[in-house]
Amino acid sequence: MGNSVKKRVRHRRRRRTVEKVEPMRFPSTEELLQQGGVNAAIDDLGRNLGALGRQHRREHREAVACGYYLARVLQAEPDLWRDFCHRPDWVGKRNRPHPEHPSKAIEHVFRLSCGLDSPVGQKRASKLKFALADAWEANVMPIEIPDWLKQKGGVEKAYKARRARLATEKAGISPVDGPRRAARTDTDAPSLVFSDEGQLARLRHIGNKSDAWMLVRQSATDPSKLNVVHVKRSKIGHLRWPPDDSTPL
């Protein structure tokens, strides 16, 4: 190229500026016990949940943990829970919180903070409730929730895992070594046996998204067992028994 100078042009990628967000602070019990303390904390929670985007994952987990913490305080303090149940926001709303059911505080805190009048907000509240259900039932400490959610893969994955397990339990399926069978509700109820792992996988894939059509046959060796022959998605869920002369499993 002779004495010509080759100019190198560096294309710099524009960096997206991420607005710094202050982490949410857990209000002390003394602050929450003050007049209007819980209401103010829940209103702050709603503003933070609405403002945090996907780029603020850590801050979002901390805000969710704050909502979990507020629900724990409401569950433990009957007077605060009663005041929360009587907030004007609940007037005319369906499935309002009841003073005698503080165990549902986790559900109603996020319903209120995500927006009672917003369908998108209520869907988000439901997702948060299911995502935290395992932690709520296991009495995980509020300060551990951010790391707990991170280990679960975030709110979305924790939500999907909980819903999938509930769908499996609703179908009466309990994973065991060897044949897969349904959990019995009483000693006389027959159990479903999945001789083919593929049929069980199909039922799990369907989950609670739609009804399932199952073809079953009573076991020739054990009348208390129903062998699942086939599973598929259907607009109307039902069971069907094949003719007696069908090929036994």
The predicted pLDDT at position 152 comes to: 93
In the three-class reduction of DSSP (H, G, I as helix; E, B as strand; rest coil), residue 131 is classed as helix
Buried b / exposed e over 176-185, threshold 16 CB at 10 Å, is eeeebbbeee
The predicted pLDDT at position 29 comes to: 74
The predicted pLDDT at position 243 comes to: 52
Is 156 exposed, middle or buried (CB count within 10 Å of its CB: 0-12, 13-18, 19+)?
A: exposed
Q: Are 62 and 146 in contact (CB under 8 A)?
A: yes
pLDDT per residue, tens digit, the chain (249 aa), is 445 444 444 444 444 444 455 556 777 777 887 888 888 888 888 888 877 655 578 888 999 999 999 999 999 999 999 999 999 999 999 899 999 999 999 999 999 999 898 899 999 999 999 999 999 999 999 999 999 999 999 999 999 999 888 887 766 554 443 344 444 444 445 565 655 566 666 666 666 555 666 676 766 676 666 677 666 666 554 445 455 544 444
The predicted pLDDT at position 126 comes to: 92
In the three-class reduction of DSSP (H, G, I as helix; E, B as strand; rest coil), residue 90 is classed as helix
Cβ-proximal residues to 71 (8 Å cutoff; 6+ apart), any chain: 105, 106, 108, 109, 136
The predicted pLDDT at position 108 comes to: 94
The predicted pLDDT at position 246 comes to: 46
Beta-bridge mates of residue 225: 191
Beta-bridge mates of residue 173: 182
The predicted pLDDT at position 211 comes to: 63
The predicted pLDDT at position 56 comes to: 73
Whole-structure pTM value: 0.60
